[in-house]
Amino acid sequence: MNEWISFFTGPALWASLAIFFFGSLLHVVRYVKNLDWQLDRVSYGRHLFFGIKGALRSVCFWMTPFATRSWRMKPVYTLMFYLFHVGGVVVPLFLSAHAVIIKSRWGITIPTLPDAVADFLTVGVLVGALGMLCRRLMRPEVRRMTTCRELGTLILAVAPFLTGFLAYHQVGNASFWTLAHIISGEMLLVAIPFTRLSHMVFFFCSRIQIGMDFGIKRGGMKSVGMPV
């Protein structure tokens, strides 16, 4: 078991991180490259300040719970959505156990969450995922668009949190759950650039583009000769 853990925290970890970072970077490069040269790039370049202002407003607005009308119309779903996504981002980045590994491997010190808060957020991820799964299976308009691949992606996204929770609290065979946690986490990293999980990248790309568009051309800055 220790040999497997050493492998998956060594070469396999580096490989999965490389696939995640380079795959995500490729998505960003392709997104920017495919922007319309006249409608987007020229406008953004000429009025960058207003574009950045609009981009920040767009991202922050859509990341704020209940800030948009669509969020307010679905309060229960919004709560589940934010439980899942906030915990899904915060826990891996600031978990104390992860911080210890980062410190020992690379000498980098990062802030950490209290274990009780990490547990709360982890449970929030599991509850949020269960709620979103029930919504997909019970609401006809959503069920029609749900495929086995999407359900598998949701399971893959949840697996590192469930196995990590079981390993930390030593439920059953802690070594098994630790290895399962490491493997599922690396599988998740590898899957992000190739599945709908890539929306974690495309969300920022699209919101930045829309924010810059509105900040400069639509109700924002306009100038002679600028595409509208």
Look at residue 95 and give its three-state secondary structure: coil
Has residue 223 been placed in a domain?
A: no
Residue 107's domain spans which residues? Answer: 2-216
Query: Which residue did the predictor score with more confidence, 110 or 164?
Result: 164
Under a CB-based contact definition with an 8 Å cutoff, are residues 113 and 94 in contact? yes
Percentage of the chain surpassing pLDDT 70? 87
Residues across the chain: 228
Domain count within the chain = 1
Which amino acid appears at position 58 of this protein? S
Distance CA 208, CA 192 (A): 20
| Average pLDDT of the segment spanning 33-39 | 68
Does the pLDDT at position 101 exceed 50? yes
- The neighbour count for residue 161, using CB atoms within 10 Å, is 25
Helix, strand, coil abundance in the chain, percent, nearest 5: 80, 0, 20
Has residue 226 been placed in a domain?
A: no
Has residue 227 been placed in a domain?
A: no
Selection from 7-21, 121-135, 211-225 with the highest mean pLDDT: 121-135
Could you report the per-residue pLDDT of 102-144, keeping only the tens digit for each? Answer: 777 777 888 888 888 999 999 999 998 888 888 878 877 777 7
For tokens 């922007």, name the residue. 35
Q: What pLDDT is recorded for position 224?
A: 47
Distance CA 180, CA 163 (A): 6
Does the pLDDT at position 228 exceed 50? no
Q: What pLDDT is recorded for position 161?
A: 93
Has residue 177 been placed in a domain?
A: yes
The rounded Cα 26 to chain-centroid distance in angstroms is 16
Has residue 19 been placed in a domain?
A: yes
Distance CA 184, CA 220 (A): 45
Under a CB-based contact definition with an 8 Å cutoff, are residues 156 and 188 in contact? yes
Question: What is residue 38's DSSP assignment?
Answer: I
Q: What pLDDT is recorded for position 3?
A: 66
CATH of residue 11's domain is 1.20.950
Rg of the chain on CA atoms, in Å: 21
Which amino acid appears at position 110 of this protein? I
Has residue 73 been placed in a domain?
A: yes
Has residue 132 been placed in a domain?
A: yes
- The neighbour count for residue 7, using CB atoms within 10 Å, is 12
Has residue 10 been placed in a domain?
A: yes
Q: What pLDDT is recorded for position 144?
A: 76
